[in-house]
Amino acid sequence: MSWLPPTALGCGEPAGHLEAAGSRKILVAHRGASAYAPEHTAEAYELAIRQGADYIEPDLQMTRDGAFICLHDPTLDRTTDVETRFPERRTTRSLDGETVEGWFAVDFTLEEVKSLDAGSWFGPQFAGSRIQTLEEAVQRARGRCGVFPELKNPELYAGLVPSLVARFHAEALRLELGSEGVSAMVQSFSRAVLEQLRDAGSTLPRVLLFGAKEAGRWVRPEGPAEIREFAQGIGPAREILLDHPELMAHARRAGLRVLPYTFRGGRVLEDFGDVQAEMRYFLYELGVDGLFTDNPDLFPRNPEGSP
């Protein structure tokens, strides 16, 4: 199992086990350069790569015909014109105990999804941008940077045969994720998903994400040791590390890498003047290994803060 730290060229190379990762900080472009271009589009990924991202982050949902697409929400209506194009296709589902209404990607074929405008919501200059498939994101990254997919909403795909995890594992092998050409890690808020990937024999480093609701379990001294049974890294919400800086020491003892989320120019925590100062504090004062940001161009590559 290799943790693939970035190089000066912005593309990871194998370097042994995760615990042996280099000291270079890892820049993960959250949904691409999503501060400047519509998330999960070719434009956002391309800009992120040009801005020096070590990894682009494709959130993954699935279409009705089994394609992995890069989409954060389970529904299409926030970031596309699906409501106008397919007004009669609105449905209701239960997710995490809540009733959710919308145009769920899993109810549409890939061809239908590809017909949607995924850029106009962000700005008229992006009109006609399309949702990307995982394969398209990987091909764009190949030889240029890594990919760090997140398996989203596993409960939505619980009835799939083969399972969501089995399908992703097969796709990762087909696309040669984790090879020298495409460094890769995989992340999820679901412990079960990461355990299933481990049991399926996936060699991709796995990262457990968690927010405030789950923090109580994992910030305990024994929490990271439990995580180490199924993952090699953690991705806590950045606020958790401010409230529980001792988590860094617990994670280090367990041999876990730490990559908090999400650093945005428009949502800087009140203790910091700007997003670059905020990122610099987490990287060089708290000592995290990398982070997720909407602003890859502002990522401080050194303690002085220069991109």
In this structure, what are the phi and psi dihedrals at residue 62, rounded to the nearest 5 degrees? -125, 150
In three-state secondary structure terms, 133 is: strand
The pLDDT-based confidence of 2 (bands split at 50, 70, 90) is very low
What pLDDT digit, counting tens, does each position of 223-252 carry?
Answer: 999 999 999 999 999 999 999 999 999 999
Domain boundaries, the chain: 18-74+132-298
Residue with tokens 């908090």: 260
- The two three-digit tokens of residue 169, written as one number: 């594992």
Q: Higher model confidence: residue 244 or residue 1? A: 244
307 — pLDDT class (breaks 50, 70, 90) = confident
When pLDDT is averaged across residues 49-61 and rounded to a whole number, the result is 98
**By the 8 A CB rule, do 36 and 47 touch?**
yes
pLDDT digits 0-9 by tens, 201-229: 999 999 999 999 999 999 999 999 999 99
Whether residue 4 contacts residue 12, with contact meaning beta carbons closer than 8 Å, is answered with yes
Residue-wise pLDDT tens digits, 243-302: 999 999 999 999 999 999 999 998 999 889 999 999 999 999 999 999 999 999 999 999
Judged against a pLDDT cut of 70, whether residue 5 lies above it is answered with no
Could you report the per-residue pLDDT of 101-118, keeping only the tens digit for each? 999 999 999 999 999 999
18-74+132-298: CATH number: 3.20.20.190
Helices 164-174/191-199 angle, 10° precision: 50
- Model confidence pLDDT, tens digit, residues 139-190: 999 999 999 999 999 999 998 989 999 999 999 999 999 988 899 999 999 9
**Model pTM score:** 0.93
Residue 112 to residues 81, 82, 129, Cα–Cα distance (Å): 12, 9, 14
Predicted confidence at residue 8, as pLDDT, reads 33
CB 69 within 8 A of CB 132: yes
- Chain position carrying tokens 């145009």: 103
State residue 22's pLDDT score.
Answer: 52
27 pLDDT band, cuts 50/70/90, is very high
- Residue-level pLDDT at 271: 86
For 23-52, what is the mean pLDDT?
Answer: 97
- H or E stretch covering 240: helix 238-243
Can you say whether the dihedral through the CA atoms of 298, 301, 305, 307 is positive or negative? negative
Q: Are 140 and 49 in contact (CB under 8 A)?
A: yes
pLDDT band at residue 18 under the 50/70/90 scheme: very low
Catalytic annotation, residues: 30, 72
Burial grade of 128 (CB within 10 A; 0-12, 13-18, 19 or more): exposed
What is residue 305's predicted lDDT score, i.e. its pLDDT?
Answer: 67
Cα–Cα–Cα angle for 11, 196, 39, nearest 5°? 45
Block residue for tokens 């389970």: 74
Sole residue written with tokens 């940077």: 145
Three-state SS at 153: coil
Confidence band of 304 (pLDDT split at 50, 70, 90): confident
Binned at pLDDT 50, 70 and 90, residue 12 comes out as very low
pLDDT exceeds cutoff 80 at 21: no
